[in-house]
Structure formats: C-alpha cells, structure tokens
Chains A and B, each alone.
Chain A
Amino acid sequence: MLTYYLGLSAILFSIGVAGVIVRRNAIIMFMCIELMLNAVNLSFIALSPYAGIEGQVFVFFVIAVAAAEAAVGLAIIIALFRHVESVDVRNFSLLRW
C-alpha cells in the first residue's frame, strides 16, 4: 500500500518538476513548485504510520512555509510585472553569461 502512496507522490513530484522545466509562465511555474511541495506532503502523510506521527506535524510546517513562499513569490512577480508587463520568463534575461 505504501508503495502506491509513495509512487503517487513521486509522480506528482515529477509532474511538478516537468512543469517547472517546460512552462514559461512564472505563476504556473510557481504553482508547479507548490505541486512538488504537496507531493512531499503526501509522502510525509503516507510515511507517518510507519515512521512516526511527526510526519503529519511536518506537513503543517510545510504548508506554513509554502504559504510564506507564495506570498513573497507573488509579490515578486507583481513587482516585476510592473517593469516588463509580462509574466513570461522568456522575457527575463537581462542577466546572463
């Protein structure tokens, strides 16, 4: 049973990774990262019957941290949107080489 949970978690995580690599929209990329975090949360929950109840507590921490990241991330994207009028990351390459 655990294998299925962990497998699902790994698949979700991979979907998130793939999304970050292929998507160009900064907000969607960020959503993919959130997906990755939640995939990890799933792992924590799935593992906690075996590894200990702390696993469920960790999920709270992860949710809180993800919320903080979301707040900051959206703020950064908005700030940048004012300059570039776009959330397409292909437009952000002032810095390179």
Chain B
Amino acid sequence: MELDFQTSVDYFWALLPEIVLSLWAMGVLLADVFQKGSRSEASRPAIAWLALAGIAAAAVANVWLMTVTGTGGMIAVDGFRIFANFILLLAAALAILVSMGYLDRHAMNRGEFYVLLMFAVVGMMILASAQDLILLFVGLELMSVAIYVLVGFNRRDPRSGEAALKYFLLGAFASAFLLYGIALVFGATGTTDLALLAETIGTGVQDAPLLLMMGVGLLAVGFAFKVAAMPFHVWTPDAYDGAPTPITALMATGVKAAAFAALLRVFAVSFGGLHETWVVAFWWLAALTMIGANLVALTQGSVKRMLAYSSIAHAGYVLVAVVAANAVGAAAFLFYLLVYTLMTAGAFGIVIANARGDRERVSLEDYAGLGWQQPVMAAAFAIFLLSLAGFPLTGGFIGKLYILRAALAADQVPLAVILVMASLISYFYYLRVVIVMYMRPAPAADTHAGLTASRPLQVAVGVAAIGVILLFFAPAMVLDAAQGSVAGLFIAQEALFGLSRGP
C-alpha cells in the first residue's frame, strides 16, 4: 500500500499499530473497571494476558505495516520505525510477563497497571516514528506521563512514590527544555517537519542562525535527559531504584530505546547538515557516560542500582553508534538496542525472581550461593551479566563489535578505544555478581530455597536468555533486517551531502 498523506485516512493506516494498541488499552481499561463486581484475584491474570494479546495484536499490525510505504506525513512509514516498533513491543511483552507474579507479591495487582503500560508503549511507538517535532513531543509526553504513574504505582512503598516524584519533576523539567528547543528550531526554520528541516538546514553550518543552534542544543539536552546520558542521567539511578522492578525493566529498555530512536531520527537525519557541531557534543556525552557510569557502577552495593548504572553506561555505547552517524552505525544501533532490551529485561527479571514475598533481595550479599542453590536462575543471570559486559558467546559481544565497527568506519578511533576501556571496567562489577553467586557460600543451606519464579517470568527470562545466546551464534538474520531497515534512512542525507562515511 502506498500512502501519500493527502487525506486523513492515510494516517489511520499509517498509525494502525498505535491505534490497535490504544483501542485495546481502552477496552482493557473498561473491561477491568466493569468486572469490578467480581473482584477475585483469579480474574487478574486475565487482564495481564489480555494486555499481552494487545501487544501481540499491535505486533501483527506492525507486520502488516511492512507492506506499506509512505512519505510526506507527520509519521514515518519506514523500516527503521518497524524495527524500532518490534523492539518496543518486545520490551513491553517482557515487562508484562515479568510483572505478573510481581504485582501479586506486592499487592498492587490492579488492571490500570497494564493499561498504563500499554499507553506508555503507544507513546514510545509514536516517539520512535514521529516525523514532526510536535508529534514527537506529544508521543514523548504520552509515554512519560504514563511512566510517571507507573513508577509510583506501589503506593505503599515510600520509595516508589519518591522515585515517581523525582522522575516527574525532572522529567517535566527536561521536557520544558526539549519544548523550548522545538520552539526555537521552529522559529528559525519555519517548520517542524523532520524532512523539511533537513532540506531547510541544508549544509549551512557556517551561517546557521543562533536561534537554530540554540534550538538544536536544547533538543540535544532534552534527548540526553531521556536517554540518560551523563551528566543528564542524575534522575536515572533514583527512578530506576525506587520504581517497581518490572517498570524499571520497561524504563531501561522501552523508554530508552524509543528515546534513542527519536534521537537518531532527529539528529542523524534532520540535523545531518549540522553534523559537525552536534557530533562533538554527543562525542563528549558518549565518552563521559561510558566512563562515568561504569566507574560509579563499581561502587554500588545494590544489584538493582548497579543495573541502573549499567543501563546508563549502555546509553553511552549506543551514543557511540549515534556519533558514527552512518548506515553501519544505524544498523549497529538497532541491533544493539535489540540485544540490550533482551539482556536488560532478562537481568531485571532475575532481580524480580530473587525475592521473598514483597521483600526484594537486591543487595549483593543476597546473591551469595545462588549459583548452587538455584542453578538455572543463576545461570540465566550469569548469561545476562556477561552479555551486558560484552563477553563473547553472547549477543552483547556482537552488539559491541558492530558499534566498534561503525565507530571505526566513521574514524572515531578514540571513542572506540574509550568504549573498549569502559567495557573492561564494566567486567569488574558484572563479574562481581557472578562471582558472588558461584563462589561465595550462602549463609544457610536453604537461603535460596523456594524462590519460585512465576511461570510467565520463567518464560520471559528463558526467551531473553535464548535470544541473547542466539544473537551471538546467528546474528546475521537480525543484522540483515537492521541493515535493510536503515537503508532508507540515510538516502536523503547521502544524496544531499554525501554524509555517510561508512562503507
């Protein structure tokens, strides 16, 4: 199907996955509220499965979207969007699966949880595919507002509320910066359409008006906040730490992936002409993030918080792919986001599983001896941690290799070196957990007995673990898809400026 966005009906088709998911979420919301009379716990998993079915329906619509092409609308219809959507839907599905047992244990199993989660995913999908800055802003806020609530969803836990407040205040704060940036860019160029922006800006780096540069700078700040790049990461550890763990998983995977997708689209495509300016800023952000986050992660005693810093560090790695700003980089970017989603969601899944009642056991000591008493769980965790560290035999290694490859193709040698050094640092704290699990005895013979991960969580962790391993041994299919999806992204740029320096 060919869409030219001359009529509003085209938007209906172009937005089909989002529409399906929104309608589904509304339906789930009403279904939940109308079955209130029979407030039995038994009916609750049904809502979760319903939400999962909604995600599946959106995925089907997304598959259908592969047959559609379209240009000129406020929403992109291209391979990049479809690939990003799959990553986001995967993140959502994993988050729902790991939520099921968690919500019961923490007595917060309410249908709104899943509804908000679905709305957040709609926001993410819009964010990742917006072809217009204002739509991008709306998508961002739709996602953020839903996530603010989800972070504070555990009302009995003051930490959850505190995390929500911090995330909300700082998130809104950063949104204002982003919005200001949009306003200035709009003022300087007279458009918010990303394709038009690229044309308007052209290659005029020298004579770019101050208004435009300030706008681009503010946009960079706003995005850096959302992807949690240092020093705009300050909200991340607290928000991730206090949030209910499934939501932490969703924030670390979906939210971050969506923000990154938008960032790449806006900067690499629209502001391609200003490449020389912004690439330096992102260079520093990437370097600072990789080094800083890994160093701070070394000092963390809580595994959950350590994973929060780890996710910041990974934002740095992905930023390297953004800095590379070529087709290889974009493909590496998508591939890495996929691997990252799997391994991070899996790791948080294990953090959820290692809990007794509503007490999460997140300190390093709580993992002592896990390797002997819960070998399957510990083995999965080890796989995720090693993959996060970039150990060969895991997808994380291939992902890092591709990013390195992209960085070298773009002559970013120092950044590549920093990436390697930072990964070496990261081995220390990832390995520490593995070592504690396998080489420190548990305080008692039954310390970890009876940690029963719910069946859906087992499925999620299993899928993630197998995915992480498979992405090492057979990454070709995914990588081909990623390379195919970004093929169109840079065509305009290459035609305009011959920007892509990669092969």
Contact = CB atoms under 8 A, between A and B. Distances in A.
Chains A and B touch each other in the complex, with CB atoms below 8 Å apart: yes
Interface of A: 6, 13, 16, 20, 26, 29-30, 33, 36-37, 39-40, 43-44, 47, 50-52, 54-55, 58, 61-62, 65, 68-69, 72-73, 75-77, 79-80, 82-84, 89, 92-97
6 contacts: A44-B186, A69-B172, A76-B148, A76-B168, A95-B159, A96-B238
Nearest to B169: A29
Contacts of A95: 159, 162-163, 166, 237-238, 241-242
B142 to A, nearest CB: 8
B168 A65 contact: no
Q: Name the residue in B180, B183, B238 with the highest tally of chain A Cβ atoms < 10 Å from its Cβ.
A: B183
Given A43-B184, A76-B168, A94-B159, A16 B134 contact: no
A23 to B, nearest CB: 11
Interface of B: 134, 137-138, 141, 145, 148-149, 152, 155, 158-159, 161-166, 168-169, 172-173, 175-176, 179-180, 182-184, 186-192, 237-238, 241-242, 299
Given A30-B169, A50-B190, A95-B163, A76 B152 contact: yes
Closest 7 CB pairs of A and B: A47-B187, A36-B176, A80-B161, A95-B238, A83-B158, A51-B190, A43-B183
Contact of B187 (A50, A73, A83, A89): A50
A40 B180 contact: yes
Most chain A beta carbons < 10 A, residue from B148, B149, B162, B237: B162
Nearest to B174: A33
Contact of A68 (B141, B165, B179, B242): B141
B190 A80 contact: no
Given A30-B169, A76-B168, A95-B238, A52 B190 contact: yes
A40 B173 CA distance: 12
Candidate in B145, B191, B299 with the most chain A CB atoms within 10 angstroms: B145
A58 B162 contact: no
A89 B163 CA distance: 12
A26 B188 CA distance: 34
Given A43-B184, A51-B187, A94-B162, A58 B134 contact: yes
A75 B134 CA distance: 26
B179 A37 contact: yes
Contacts of B155: 79, 82
Contacts of A61: 134, 137-138
A62 B141 CA distance: 10
Nearest to B148: A72
B130 to A, nearest CB: 13
Nearest to B185: A51
Contacts of A26: 165, 169
A93 B180 CA distance: 30
A47 B242 CA distance: 41
Contact of B172 (A33, A54, A96): A33
A33 to B, nearest CB: 5
